[in-house]
Amino acid sequence: MSIMEYNGAAIVAMTGKDCVAIAADRRLGAQAQTVSCDFQKVFQMTPTTFVGLPGLATDVLTMSQRLQFKLNMYRLREEREIEPATLVNLISSVLYEKRFGPYFVEPIVAGLTKDGKPYVASTDLIGCPMETDDFVVGGTSADQLYGMCESLYKPDMSPDDLFEVISQALLNAQDRDALAGWGAVVHIVEKDKITTRTLKGRMD
């Protein structure tokens, strides 16, 4: 078993019309044993940007704290909030400088740019970035998520449609992965508000 699969995760980010969504499961496992079902894997970095961290739970906590520190320094120096694309570059350099003993996380970034356009991107564990216009997936459920997202995604969805599609994609993908699941949390980011909903999932 890969160390990336030790704790289990399912995270997906998806774009809509002037909105973006990111969703994650809530399970913390130790291989097949479930330890907790309210583990946080998605972190708010700015008022309109979230980062999802699938991978090894210890590195999820370490990486989220390092990013928070780096962003606090960025705010002090620049006196403004970081743009999502700049955040991806920051994450990329943080991961790449540890490439010989990497953090076992594959971050997913979802947010709105300063002109209100949706932005999603992901990197691998040594920081190679991948930007896309539709959706990015990560975690042990990535293969199942790809299938669900390819089937359900449509361009320019409204926030309500986006919530429905990302929720169905995540719940159905994690039902087919024994290492992820036990509920989900969904964040919908719009220019003037953020809606966070917690979903019930199968508990078996």
Query: pLDDT value at position 203?
Result: 81
Parallel/antiparallel/unpaired status of strands 19-25 and 129-132: unpaired
Map tokens 């949706």 to a residue. Answer: 118
Query: pLDDT value at position 99?
Result: 95
109 DSSP β-pair partners: 51, 121
Q: Which two tokens stand for residue 37?
A: 């079902």
- Give the span between the Cα atoms of 93 and 45, in whole angstroms: 17
Task: From 83, 100, 149, select the one nearest 157 (Cα to Cα).
Answer: 149
Answer yes or no: are the C-beta atoms of 189 and 112 closer than 8 Å: yes
pLDDT tens, N- to C-terminus, the chain (204 residues): 799 999 999 999 999 999 999 999 999 999 999 999 999 999 999 999 999 999 999 999 999 999 999 999 999 999 999 999 999 999 999 999 999 999 999 999 999 999 999 999 999 999 999 999 999 999 999 999 999 999 999 999 999 999 999 999 999 999 999 999 999 999 999 999 999 999 998 887
Query: pLDDT value at position 109?
Result: 97
φ/ψ of residue 154, rounded to 5: -135, 145
Query: pLDDT value at position 161?
Result: 96
